[in-house]
Amino acid sequence: MRLSIDHRTVYRFAVPQARLVQMLRLTPENTHDQTIASWRIDVDCDARLRTGRDGFGNVITMLYAEGPVDGIAITVHGEVLTSHSDGVLHGVHEPLPPALFLRATEATPADVAIAAFAAEAAADAESRVGALHRVNAALHERFAFDCGRPEPGRDAAAAFREERATSRDLAQMFAVAARSLGTPARYVSGYRHTDRDGEHRPTPHGWAEAHVDGLGWVGFDPASGLCPEEHYVRVAIGLDAAGAAPVAGSRLGDGAEELDVDVVVVQEG
């Protein structure tokens, strides 16, 4: 499948800022299951860009802009060729041991209610991967999907008490559930082609991966109840959504800020 991606992030500041420093996790990598045909990041102001990797091995672009800056637009455009993999990752840069991803975070705390839900969903499963598929399907069935922007600061435990959940909420809940079963799990940020369900989703997509002995890392998307396949583009990983955030950073200056994000993913050909 050939996917064309346009992702625009716009910050507007009430007061011009003296300096901006942003970490952009916006660049996917070639793997056995996705090939980057073209990819570029553009910024609408005078800024320095420096590429590197973060602690999880994600490709990052550091952005430095000197003020006064009253707003900034970061635009991504690219095309990616993807293939079917049954959700199993192949040829991915892995600098860290799977056991690290058993760690809880502020956004993915160990939670009694989620652990009980996972244990019930996984009961009588014949294998570890079978148990994870059941948890994935159970989360999908329990929550109405919210295709809007996630609520800032809401952790997995708080999201589990709601009736609706975004892809970020669901992926973080899956990570907590899998870890409660003793399985390393992590958050993934990227893009998903969604023409199949007729909904425009204005933000990057989030899903989860769990490490299964004998298989390696396997993707699970509770937003669909299925494994991510050729209509997904994988970009970054983290222990939670913050660790894989497409744009994160700091600014030197007073005043409030407005954020506007829009993502369009189209199948070409």
Q: What is the pLDDT of residues 54-95, one digit of tens each?
A: 999 999 999 999 989 999 999 999 999 999 998 999 999 899
Using only C-alpha atoms, the chain has a radius of gyration, in whole angstroms, of: 18
Domain ranges of the chain: 2-81+246-268, 85-244
Cis peptide before 97 (omega within 30 of 0): no
Q: What is the mean pLDDT of the chain?
A: 94
Single out the residue of 179, 205, 196, 216 nearest to residue 85, CA to CA.
216
As its CATH architecture, domain 85-244 has Roll (3.10)
Tens digits of per-residue pLDDT, 159-173? 999 999 999 999 999
Asked if residues 39 and 83 have their Cβ atoms less than 8 Å apart, the reply is no
Same-fold call for 2-81+246-268 versus 85-244:
no
Res 107: pLDDT:
98
pLDDT at residue 152 above 90?
no
Q: How many angstroms separate the CA atoms of 179 and 171, rounded?
A: 12
Q: What is the CATH number of domain 2-81+246-268?
A: 2.60.40.2250
Pairing of β 205-212 and β 144-145: unpaired
Q: What is the pLDDT of residue 194?
A: 76
The C-alpha atoms of residue 53 and residue 46 are separated, in whole angstroms, by: 23
